[in-house]
Amino acid sequence: MPDSTQTHWRLDRPAEGFYTTEVPAHPGRPVRTFLPTDYQPRYPYPLVVLFHGAGGSEEQVARLAPKLSRRNYIGLSLRGPDRTGTRPDGRPAFGWGDPAAAEDYLLGAVEQTRRTYHVHSERVYLLGVGEGAGVAYRLGLRLADRLAGVVALNGRLPAPAGSPLFNLRTVRGLPVFIGHGIANAVVPYTTAQRDYRLLYAAGAEVRLAGYPTTQKLHPHMLRDVNRWIMGGVSAGAGLLLRNA
């Protein structure tokens, strides 16, 4: 997600784990950051931004970051703006409402993270689960020329809201990974197949993988997402070397 910001990230080596901050322009909307094992301040890390499902929270979805990989990425999880009740563990639950309203929050969180840690500006991925997949889709398709890819797990493409969902010019070539439970009764697998066909027709580099699960995440989903992202990172590094 390139921009004109002059980045001066910290050069010490903070410990692996979770850190919580806020974007000044969005008080009450925390940013949960996961730093990988043996964080190397001079290495430009891919950044994976995570969006929780309906009734979830930034803390809940942040737990996926180390399961995705403890070494390969900096993780960033965001909180939906709508308070929807209380989760079974007693913690507050949140939803996303209008996904388009999250764009400024996302951009502010990414910029803030880049000012603190060494993030590769062209390796920013959006990953959403359930309702969060719709947010990742909407923001990813709007910002397609500034992202490395979009991951949608057990979610669906959102319906257009008064304007086209994406620009064909910028979506062409956008990497998209769709992971979906074959027995998902909340969002049927046929919906994922429809989304795949739509994105493929638009020119996105889309992959659809089905898993023997319902709306719950299958353990192999994160394994495959990690391989998919690192495959893209390796291909990009190879392209840079060939053009050097």
Span 103-126, mean pLDDT? 94
Higher-pLDDT residue of 75, 13 = 75
For tokens 């959403």, name the residue: 128
Question: Which pLDDT value is given to residue 242?
Answer: 34
- What is the per-residue pLDDT for 70? 96
Query: How large is the average pLDDT for residues 161-165?
Result: 62
pLDDT digits (tens, 9 = 90+) for 61-88: 999 999 999 999 999 999 999 999 998 8
Residue 5 above 70 pLDDT? Answer: no
Q: Over 90: is that where the pLDDT of 150 sits?
A: yes
Q: How far is CA 82 from CA 50, 92, 149, 200, in A?
A: 17, 10, 26, 32
Could you tell me where the DSSP H helices lie in the chain?
Answer: 58-62, 64-68, 103-116, 131-142, 168-171, 189-201, 219-243
* Domain boundaries defined on the chain: 20-160+169-243
* CA neighbor of 103 nearest in space, from 199, 23, 163, 20: 23
Q: CATH classification of 20-160+169-243 is 3.40.605.10, yes or no?
A: no
